[in-house]
Amino acid sequence: MSSIQTVGIIGSGTMGNGIAQACATSGLRVVMVDIAQAAVDKGLATVAGSLDRLIKKEKITAADKDKALALITGSTNYDDLKGAQLVIEAATENEGLKVKILQQLDGLLAPEVIVATNTSSISITKLAAATQRPDRFIGMHFFNPVPMMALVEIIRGLQTSDATHDAVKAMAEALGKTPITVKNAPGFVVNRILVPMINEAFFVLAEGLATPEDIDAGMKLGCNQPIGPLALADMIGLDVCLAVMNVYMAEYNDSKYRPAPLLKEMVAAGWLGRKTGKGVYTY
């Protein structure tokens, strides 16, 4: 399997442009595709702004920025992905949309090209089965903000070959990331542990064991977490946390994944966290 020199990225939103930046600053060529030119332009502008902040912090030079931006091509045409050895799908978290994109890629890309998805919740095995290259399909779950976060979860579907896994793992390491290898299961590793912890914090809050501030202080100071679970829930969005718990409950059929009634109540009230100005805390 040829080493990866050019990476195609589908989607120029938060995750897509973050992955593009991480690839380009590591010297890989990038083709970033989105449906609308305005979306592509916005993605490229976000990368430029992010690199400017790194110049201000003296992490990179202006020459580094120019070099990275020169490696990124924005496009609205899928045909421009033909030169890539790896294509990463980073579109909206919607299974139907992802399947449609993956099937479009099958007809376009040479058989040896690896396709990865940046999904955080959809089954890799199920998505692989929708492609004509199930052995060359894998999950690459980057964390937000991509340029700063060291972790990449590499998720093997039932069909993923060793060669595909090894090539993608090597590529993640070339980006300066630390990959962990995970078998396909709802929530993979990080969210499987993180979201039930957040859910448990809502049970603790509802039982009146401590104030939100004290619960968060306890987890920050006692477990060395940079942000407490309730503040983190407000950041993620309470609706997102609830949706994830509902998926675990449905998939595992285990009562330990029962969503906290208080979490459900707050979502019903429209108190979703930072994005609505009120969640556990008021913003």
Nearest in space to 142 (alpha carbons), one of 234, 22, 5, 11: 22
Question: Positive or negative, the Cα torsion across 120, 124, 130, 133?
Answer: positive
Q: What phi-psi label fits residue 118: left (phi over 0), alpha (psi between -120 and 50 degrees) or beta?
A: alpha
Which amino acid, one-letter code, is at 152? V
Q: Is 141 a catalytic residue?
A: yes
| H or E element, residue 269 | helix 261-269
Which amino acid, one-letter code, is at 194? L
Q: Is 89 a catalytic residue?
A: no
Six-digit token string for 260: 């906290």
Q: Choosing from 118, 123, 153, 199, which is the catalytic residue?
A: 153
CB proximity list for 166: less than 8 A, separation 6 or greater: none
Q: Is 120 a catalytic residue?
A: yes
| SS3 labels along 57-85 | CCCCCHHHHHHHHHCEEEECCHHHHHHCC
Q: Is 153 a catalytic residue?
A: yes
Q: Choosing from 118, 141, 184, 199, which is the catalytic residue?
A: 141
Q: Choosing from 120, 123, 184, 199, which is the catalytic residue?
A: 120
The residues assigned a catalytic role are 120, 141, 153, 191
